[in-house]
Amino acid sequence: MNSTALLFVGTYSRHSSRGIYIYAVTSSGLRLLSTEGSLENPSYLALSPDKRYLYAVSETAGGSVASFTIDWESGKLSLCSRTSSFGADPCHLSLSPALDRLYVTNYTSGTISSFPLRDGIIGSMDKQNDKAALLPYLSNPAGITHVHCSFPTDGGLYYTDLGLDCVVSCGLDLSIRAVWPIPFGSGPRHLLRAGSFLYLVNEYANRLDCINPVSGQITGSCSMLPKGFHGISSAAALKFGYGKLLASTRGADVVAVCQPGEHPYVHGFLPSGGNGLRDLEAFPLLELLFTANEASDCISVFHVPDGAPVQARLISQADVPSPVCLICATYPGT
């Protein structure tokens, strides 16, 4: 069956991983097209909106970030540029709305590096957040900063600090506007904006928060764990798909299907089809949902009937060593 889309998979470089995996997507599953192995631990990816470039981190102590051009017929990636991330263990990257900036979060260093972009080329880093500027805002400044995720908008940028339990609102130049504390020990991890609100997944608390993007007030929360679950689990990723917030948890290994809004709530849970659930990706065009199961070394493919992820049915799996990031996109022009 002909493919109308590609699935890009970021991995950790273990269990014989070959780096970034590129699959053709059909209604029945996945077909491997190519791999790109020049980066160690390409654990997070971002696709430019015009679908010409794929960006990837190399999550290592030395830290780097790279851009690739994409041959959509063969799935082959060709290196376009590569530079230091100017921090240890880069784990997330995002593009400015104007597509002229790449923001890279360095987890262990607790920094965000900002790079100019032009025609897919990553320029010299010229801005970085000031960690010391956070301290006056914090009730517990003794924590260790671990910046995890950034989300740029037209008016500025939000980022999470998992170590200091806060969400930071700043300008696109990374100057701080406000620091919003999250309950101690929550571990704010993955953030996105949908509609009028920010939504936040907390790794240690396994909780989804809705946040007012102006005041920083948490307006509502819900647990990401099934009732009666008492094991060890940690939340990982948050995506929007099928009109719902889709959040992943490792340990419980379920996708929490949540209703967005000022007071979010859980519709139900979908078992991930594996162990160590890290990321997920919705693809409504073919009524599909993908989960990346790091500990099981596989991607699970689900059919989603009637736009209802809670009722999704596992239809196939693909063996991939340590998958941790998924991006699915249709071919350019489709």
Does residue 135 register a pLDDT over 80? no
CA-based end-to-end distance of the chain: 17
Q: Assess if residue 16 is contained within a domain.
A: no
Q: Assess if residue 270 is contained within a domain.
A: no
Is residue 20 within 8 Å of 8, Cβ to Cβ?
Answer: yes
Calculate mean pLDDT across residues 86-113: 96
Confidence label for 185 from pLDDT (cuts 50, 70 and 90): very high
E-strand ranges in 171-283 read 176-181, 188-194, 197-202, 207-211, 218-223, 234-241, 244-250, 254-259, 265-271, 277-283
pLDDT of residue 284: 96
Alpha-carbon distance of 286 to 172, in angstroms, equals 36
Q: Assess if residue 140 is contained within a domain.
A: yes
Q: Assess if residue 23 is contained within a domain.
A: no
Query: What secondary structure letter does DSSP report for 331?
Result: P
Alpha-carbon distance of 73 to 266, in angstroms, equals 39
Q: Assess if residue 188 is contained within a domain.
A: no
Radius of gyration of the chain (CA): 19
Domain that holds residue 159: 40-181
Let me know if 45 is exposed, middle or buried by CB neighbors in 10 A (0-12, 13-18, 19+): buried
Q: Assess if residue 164 is contained within a domain.
A: yes
| Lowest pLDDT segment from 106-110, 129-133, 187-191, 246-250 | 129-133
Q: Assess if residue 259 is contained within a domain.
A: no
pLDDT of residue 131: 81
Classify the C-alpha dihedral 228-184-156-46 as positive or negative.
negative
Calculate mean pLDDT across residues 149-175: 94
Is residue 21 within 8 Å of 302, Cβ to Cβ?
Answer: no
Calculate mean pLDDT across residues 120-125: 97
Confidence label for 141 from pLDDT (cuts 50, 70 and 90): low
Calculate mean pLDDT across residues 1-12: 89
Which CATH number belongs to the domain containing residue 75 in this structure?
A: 2.130.10.10
pLDDT of residue 258: 98
- What value, to the nearest 5°, has the Cα angle with vertex 183 and ends 156 and 206? 90
Q: Assess if residue 120 is contained within a domain.
A: yes
Count: domains in the chain: 1
Is residue 143 within 8 Å of 163, Cβ to Cβ?
Answer: yes
Average pLDDT, the chain: 95
Calculate mean pLDDT across residues 306-310: 96
Q: What are residue 310's phi and psi, to 5 degrees?
A: -60, -30
pLDDT of residue 139: 61
- The residues facing 266 across adjacent strands are 258
pLDDT of residue 240: 97
- The residues facing 319 across adjacent strands are 298
Query: Which string of DSSP letters, residue by residue, matches 149-200?
Result: EEEEETTEEEEEETTTTEEEEE-TT--EEEEEE--TT--EEEEEEETTEEEE
226's enclosing H/E stretch is none
pLDDT of residue 291: 98
Q: Give the C-alpha distances (Å, rounded to integers) separating 63 from 44, 122, 271.
A: 12, 15, 33
The verdict on pTM exceeding 0.85 is yes
